[in-house]
Structure 1
Amino acid sequence: MTRLVMWDIDRTLLVSGKAAHQAYATAFTAVTGVAWRAMAVTAGRTDRDISAEIFAAHGIADCEPHLDGFFTRYADEVHAARHLIAEQGHLLPGVRDVLQALAGRPGVVQTVVTGNIPAVAAAKVGAFDLARAFDMDIGGYGADDVARAPLVRRCLERTHAKYGGPVHPVVIGDTTFDVAAALACGAVAVGVATGATSAAELARAGAHAVLDDLSDVDAAVAVIAG
């Protein structure tokens, strides 16, 4: 059985600084010609969901005709500023060691389920040299759907298509959105209180396990690997 470990990125693995938000603003104005006003709340949400809110707040009721062009330009802007992700941001405690420890376990496959579109997810993990830990091809991404649970489902579908056989899924994230998505898809939900959501809130949302962070590598691996 494959132990499929699905990581959220932002505030679970790393903090990326302001580069992505600036790229959002630049791409939005470049594609729409509308002056940028403000960013939406992003924690736990998908880029499709965030974009719909931002476009509406800037007077564009239907974002769909613009999304392909916007996501392409957004990805280009993030890659151009990729050096700033590492300069302004940082890895969260224990992340590199936990990823390496899990990578050495037979039957464990690690990927990402993130609100980011694929190219931006790749830029963020690549900025900290984490890409080798993940099978990015099977991930669930913010371009897949507005809601979070369908991202987990898409990841499971891609995993079955690539690896076959039974899968034991685990979702790791810092928000109640991550926990809810895991539970909706029959996955083990592991909350990590490294974002704005407290350990108590993650537990109340139904997380099977909650960690303050990943600094206790052995404890984190035991929870995640089962």
Structure 2
Amino acid sequence: MLWNIDLTLVDVAQVMRAAYAEAFEKVTGSPLVYLAPTAGRTDSEIFFEFLARNDVGIDPDTDPLPDFTDALGESFARRRDRLQAKGRAMPGAEAALAAVGRLEDTLQSVVTGTIMSNAVAKLAAFGLDGHLDLSIGGFGSEHYPKASLIQFTRMRAEEAHGRAFPEASTVYISESVRDVEAACIGRATPIAVVSGSATESQLRAAGAVHVLDDLTDPQALLNAIRSATEDPGAT
């Protein structure tokens, strides 16, 4: 069972925006005036879109991405004490994680566009990290598309636990169209939650058969998981 983090399990957008702005200006010397869509994107994708939208050129002989991710981690770490005041766990997130954790032979982790240090901090701020095996998760610090991160996470789970985690039994839960598409490419069954900017119809058009309004009904989530894993093509 794989989870996206932002707007699926937590909402810390205010703190994240401030960290992005500080890290971007530190690395480029230019203020971050124009933001970019973040849903379903990795931090590396977001950085390069920031460059394009703010018309900031870079030296073709240098790679500013490692400096940006380092600066982003440092900037976010300085703001960790603001997460609970300015952010929140998404409604039902803790109960949903606990309910899934009680399923037999089920392992939970994350596939997120956020770099690892920031992902761990986001979850820990709201006591959600204890439900997840973050040692095998897929993070934005790996600089791979999310479809690849889903596959890598499955392989790491198999290596760490010494057993198979079949594609047909792998589920990815997220609120974004791009993540639903990534799940389909990465051979996981998407379960979508209408907790971000995407509508139910947009999520279904992207490939989500199972769509929930939110995470406040653990039984509805478990029913969707059972349907997705027992018969991935079921409606």
Is 1:187 equivalent to 2:188 in the alignment? Answer: yes
Q: In structure 1, what is the Cα distance between the partners aligned to 2:91 and 2:136?
A: 26
Contact 1:37 1:58 in 2 (8 A): no
SS at match of 2:13: coil
**Aligned letter for 2:29?**
G
CA distance change for structure 1 residues 196 and 64 in 2, over 3 Å: closer, same or farther?
Answer: farther
Partner of 1:54: 50
Q: Give the direction of change, closer, same or farther, for the CA distance of 1:43–1:64 in structure 2 (3 Å limit).
A: farther
Shift of 1:101: 1.3
User: Matched residue pairs, number?
Assistant: 222
Aligned equivalents of 1:143, 1:157: Cα separation in 2: 18
Q: Give percent identity, aligned residues only.
A: 33
Aligned position for 1:149:
147
Query: How far apart are the structure 1 equivalents of 2:15 and 2:159?
Result: 34
Correspondence for 1:40 = 36
Distance in 2 of aligned mates of 1:63 and 1:201: 40
Q: Is the 8 A contact 1:145 1:151 kept in 2?
A: no
Structure number with the bigger relative contact order (C-alpha 8 A, sep ≥ 6) is 1
Distance (whole Å) between structure 2 residues aligned to residue 37 and residue 12 of structure 1: 27
Q: Counterpart of 2:135?
A: 137
Name the aligned partner's letter for residue 190 of structure 1. Answer: I
CA RMSD of aligned residues (A): 1.7
Paired AA for residue 186 in structure 1: R
Single out whichever of 79-88 and 108-117 deviates more from structure 2: 79-88
With normalisation by structure 2, the TM-score equals 0.88
Q: Which runs of 5+ in 1 are unaligned?
A: none
Residue in 1 that maps onto 2:175: 174
Secondary structure in 1 matching 2:26: helix
Q: Is the 8 Å Cα contact of residues 14 and 86 (structure 2) preserved in structure 1?
A: yes
Query: Deviations 1:29-57 (Å, cap 9, x if unpaired)?
Result: 12222233222111111111111111233
Match of 1:83 among 81, 84, 88: 81
- Aligned pairs for 1:54-133 (under 5 A) are 54-56=50-52, 57-61=54-58, 65-133=63-131
Q: Give 5+ residue unaligned stretches, structure 2.
A: 230-235
Q: Partner residue of 1:220?
A: 221
Please identify, of 26-35 and 129-138, the stretch whose mean Cα deviation from structure 2 is larger. Answer: 26-35
Q: Per-residue displacement from partner, 1:7-44 (whole Å, max 9, x unpaired)? A: 00111111113111111111111222223322211111
Cα distance in 2 for partners of 1:187, 1:11 equals 20
| Paired residue secondary structure (1:108) | coil
Corresponding residue SS for 2:140: coil
- Asked whether the 8 Å contact 1:49–1:147 carries over to 2, the reply is no
Return the structure number with greater strand share: 1
TM-score normalised according to structure 1 size = 0.92
**Paired residue for 2:233?**
none
Residue 9 (structure 2) pairs with residue 13 (structure 1): yes
